[in-house]
Structure 1
Amino acid sequence: MPAILRLDGYRSYFYSGEGSEPPHVDVEFGDKLAKYWLEPVELASSKRFRSHELGPLRDIVLAHRQTFLRAWYEHFEA
């Protein structure tokens, strides 16, 4: 599971076996998990994040979307 970004306690990554899914990023903060599709940016799932935490988290994903997409395509098209 390549870690793509660590920012303010958030760790962003994807699993190597998920290449059959659309581009996405998994975000972990302590025991909280969320998965965001990247094209377009949409919440796919979340566990233990409160609804008011998901807006700022989406902003982080949007701000780093190109980094996540580049890492996804470099990993799965290599």
Structure 2
Amino acid sequence: MPTILEILGWRLFFYANEGNEPIHVHARKAETECKYWIDTDNYDIIEAYAFNLGPKERRQIRQIVFGHFDYIVEQWAEFQRRRFNG
């Protein structure tokens, strides 16, 4: 479960055991957790899962994910290369 970014109390990370799911990122802050699909074709994100995510937290994490969109995609690619190539 590598952490790729920590910002404003949010920890963004990937899980290593999720098979062949498309690009996505998990985020956790205190008792809040969420998951966003990353749509590189349309430069968009889609909320896949949210726990204890209020409107303020939802806006904040969406801004963080969008603000680091390219970085997340790059980290995902690197993470997948390491997983499959050792």
Same fold by TM-score greater than 0.5: yes
Please say if 1:50 is aligned against 2:54.
yes
Larger Rg over CA atoms? 2
Which structure has more RCO (C-alpha within 8 Å, separation ≥ 6)? 1
Aligned pair count? 78
2:34 corresponding residue in structure 1:
34
> How many angstroms apart in 2 are the aligned matches of 1:52 and 1:2?
26
What RMSD, in angstroms, separates the aligned Cα atoms of the two structures? 1.2
Stretches of 4+ moved more than 4 A in 1?
Answer: none
TM-score (norm: length of structure 1): 0.90
Where does 1:1-78 land on structure 2 (aligned, <5 Å)? Answer: 1-39=1-39, 40-78=44-82
Percent identity of equivalent pairs = 32
TM-superposition CA deviations, 1:4-27 (whole Å, max 9, x none): 000010000010122411100000
Q: What is the TM-score with the length of structure 2 in the denominator?
A: 0.83
What are the ranges of 5 or more consecutive residues in structure 1 without an aligned counterpart?
none
1:19–1:76 CA contact under 8 A, matched in 2: no
- Residue identity matched to 2:71: T
